[in-house]
Amino acid sequence: MTGTPKCQNRIELLQGMLDMLVLQALLREPMHGYAIAQVICSRSGEVFTVETGSLYPALHRLERQKWVKSEWKLTESKQRAKYYQLTALGKKQLTSDHQRWLQLVRAISAVMEPEVQS
Distance CA 42, CA 89 (A): 26
Q: Which of 56, 69, 91, 101 binds other proteins (CB under 8 A)?
A: 56
**Quick one: 17 or 81, whose CB is closer to other proteins?**
81
81 scored as a contact of other proteins (CB under 8 A): yes
Angle at the Cα of 92 from the Cα atoms of 88 and 98, rounded to 5 degrees? 140
52 binds other proteins, rule: CB under 8 A: yes
Judged by CB, which is closer to other proteins: 79, or 118? Answer: 79
Q: Which stretch binds other proteins (CB under 8 A): 16-24, 58-66, 90-98, 104-112?
A: 58-66
b/e per residue, 32-53, with b = 16+ CB within 10 A?
bbebbbbbbbeebeeebbbeee
- Residue 39 sits in the site that holds other proteins (CB under 8 A): no
